[in-house]
Amino acid sequence: MSQPTVVLDPTAGTTPSDRTRNHRPPSLVGVTVGLLDINKPRGDVFLDRVAERLGEQGATVLRYTKPTFTKPAPVDLRHEIATQCAAVIEALAD
């Protein structure tokens, strides 16, 4: 009788967990929105304009910056944004 074939998995064998997105706020009045600058050139140009537009719609805007665009945002920064804001906009750049 032949030996059973064993197939080895080259992957991590994990699957990403599903997370439900927060509902979009029906209005921006009084909503705190975080703007995350990933620290690439001219990202601030884009975010300055976004901040202006959000302010016109009654949102409170908080600004954050990643230490470097080449690495994920540090856990502490993500926690700070999550606890202080109802929504976040991240700016790419160039």
Partner 1 sequence: MLDGTTRAADEVVAVVPPALVECTVEKVAVNAVMAGCRPEYLPVVLAALEAVCTDEFNMHGILATTMGVGPVLVVNGPVASRIGMNSGVNALGQGNRANVTIGRAVQLVVRNVGGGAPGGIDRATHGSMAKLGFCFAEDEAGSPWTTLSEDRGFDRSQDVVTAFCGEGPRILVDQKSRSADSLVRALAEGLRSSVSPRVMMGMDVMLVLSPEHMSRFRDAGWDRNRFMAELSGHLTVNVDDVLAGAGGIEEGLPEGFAGMALPKFRPGGLLVVHAGGPAGLFSAIVGGWLNGPMGSEPTSREITP
By CB under 8 A, name the binding residues for partner 1: 8-12, 14, 67-68, 70-72
Q: Which is nearer to partner 1, 59 or 64 (CB)?
A: 64
Q: Minimum distance from CB of 27 to partner 1 (Å)?
A: 34
Q: Which is nearer to partner 1, 1 or 12 (CB)?
A: 12
Nearest to 55 by CA among 74, 28, 35: 28
Q: Minimum distance from CB of 54 to partner 1 (Å)?
A: 27
Nearest to 22 by CA among 71, 72, 81: 81
- What is the distance between the terminal CA atoms of the chain, rounded to a whole angstrom? 64
Q: Minimum distance from CB of 11 to partner 1 (Å)?
A: 5
Detail the DSSP E strand segments found in 1-94.
Answer: 32-37, 60-65, 87-91
Q: Which is nearer to partner 1, 53 or 71 (CB)?
A: 71
